């Protein structure tokens, strides 16, 4: 019985970080609200600088649990710049932990406060977080035909005009890849085949709209594109083989001993600006991820 209790307690070890992170969110939002009110008559750049700092403090607490508490070994391939840059961060999408991986890299450049996300529209209804992400510079977008490029372009242009530091995270696949979602994978492969594109097996066919709008709106403000490929290493039966990526809860329960991150910095001048050419370029980048 005692052994059973110990095992049950160990399986619930995600509760500590969950309680602390979710429990501190209202306090954080209150602090941000007070600063928002106090800064109403101050220069916008001063508000942005303090907001970025507040965001950095909270996200450092998040990273403490995802890096130190889990004991995950992070293996980074490629040369991550030491200096802050204005970038678009493009990555494959498999898990809710992917959002934290972007923070891990940004923190290593002292740019954690500059991270802003392009998010699915329905995420704006997340309690507390949904509202704040938009205030911090996040952009909510709808998929496919409902995608509003004018609204996204307008928001990004306002950030560029204000000189807002940008570490803009985009997942071009539009949804999470999972090998067990056979219908989703088949549809993605059929879409590529119909358009004469290489058929991908380990990632989904990337969509170009958000990436193109972001690049076109921010090109005068950008330094580079960060092309990031993430692989989660499983620990089933101690084999160390790659498995389906862990959920956020599974990750916090230490079910991912190694996190492989391949990083490639691409200068903005090397990225084609015309949408059809960029579409081909983006698919070629995902071919490399697939391999």
Instruction: Convert the pLDDT of each residue in 79-135 to its tens digit.
Output: 999 999 999 999 999 999 999 999 999 999 999 999 999 999 998 898 888 899 999
Task: Say if residue 77's pLDDT is above 80.
Answer: yes
- Within a domain: 91: yes
Q: How many CB atoms lie within 10 A of CB 29?
A: 17
Q: What is the pLDDT of residue 41?
A: 85
pLDDT at 235 over 60: no
Residue 39, in any domain of the structure: no
Q: Is the pLDDT of residue 230 over 70?
A: yes
At 19-41, the pLDDT tens digits run: 777 778 888 889 989 998 988 88
- In this prediction, residue 89 carries a pLDDT of 98
Examine the pLDDT at 242 and tell me if it is beyond 60: no
DSSP, collapsed to helix, strand or coil, labels residue 119 as: strand
97: closest CA among 205, 31, 14, 207?
Answer: 14
129, exposed or middle or buried, with CB in 10 Å at 0-12, 13-18, 19+? middle
Evaluate whether residue 53 is within a structural domain.
Answer: no
Predicted pLDDT at 146: 79
For residue 176, pLDDT beyond 90: yes
Number of domains in the chain: 1
- Indicate whether 1 belongs to any domain: no
Q: Kindly compute the dihedral angle of the four CA atoms of residues 74, 78, 84, 86, in this order, to the nearest 10 degrees.
A: -110
Domain containing 106 equals: 71-290
Between CA 272 and CA 275 the distance in angstroms is 8
Residue 140 lies in a domain: yes
Mean pLDDT lowest for which of 3-12, 84-93, 198-207, 254-263?
3-12
Whether the pLDDT of residue 147 is over 90: the answer is no
Percent of the chain with pLDDT over 70: 92
Nearest Cα to 85, choosing from 266, 275, 283, 278? 266
Q: What is the pLDDT of residue 152?
A: 94
DSSP bridge pairs for 169: 89, 117
Q: Averaged over 229-253, what is the pLDDT?
A: 76
Within a domain: residue 88? yes
Q: How far apart are CA 120 and CA 44, in angstroms?
A: 27
Q: Is residue 148 part of a domain?
A: yes
Give residue 8's pLDDT.
46
Could you tell me if residue 50 is inside a domain? no
Mean pLDDT within 55-67: 93
CATH at residue 240 = 3.40.1130
- Helix (H) or strand (E) holding 276, with range, is helix 275-290
């Amino acid at each position: 019985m005692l052994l059973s209790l110990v095992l049950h307690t160990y399986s619930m070890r995600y509760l500590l970080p969950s309680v602390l992170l979710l429990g501190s969110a209202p306090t954080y939002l209150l602090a941000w609200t007070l600063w928002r009110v106090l800064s109403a008559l101050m220069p916008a750049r001063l508000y942005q600088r303090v907001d970025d700092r507040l965001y950095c403090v909270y996200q450092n607490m998040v990273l403490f649990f995802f890096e130190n508490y889990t004991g995950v070994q992070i293996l980074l391939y490629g040369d991550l710049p030491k200096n802050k840059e204005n970038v678009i961060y493009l990555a494959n999408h498999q898990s809710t932990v992917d959002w934290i991986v972007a923070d891990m890299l940004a923190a290593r450049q002292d740019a954690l406060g500059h991270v802003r996300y392009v998010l699915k529209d329905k995420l704006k209804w997340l309690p507390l977080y949904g509202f704040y992400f938009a205030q911090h510079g996040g952009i909510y977008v709808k998929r496919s035909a409902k995608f509003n490029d004018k609204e996204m372009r307008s928001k990004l242009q306002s950030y560029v005009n204000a000189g807002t530091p940008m570490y803009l995270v985009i997942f071009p696949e539009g949804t999470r890849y999972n090998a067990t979602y056979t219908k989703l994978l088949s549809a993605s492969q059929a879409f590529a085949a119909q358009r004469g594109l290489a058929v991908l097996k380990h990632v989904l066919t990337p969509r170009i709209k958000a990436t193109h709008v972001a690049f076109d709106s921010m090109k005068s403000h950008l330094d580079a594109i960060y092309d990031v490929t993430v692989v989660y290493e499983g620990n089933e039966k101690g084999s160390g083989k790659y498995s389906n990526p862990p959920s956020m809860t599974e990750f916090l329960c230490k079910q991912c001993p190694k996190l492989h991150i391949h990083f490639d910095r691409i200068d903005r001048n090397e990225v084609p600006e015309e949408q059809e050419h960029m579409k081909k370029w983006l698919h070629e980048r995902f071919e490399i991820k697939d391999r």
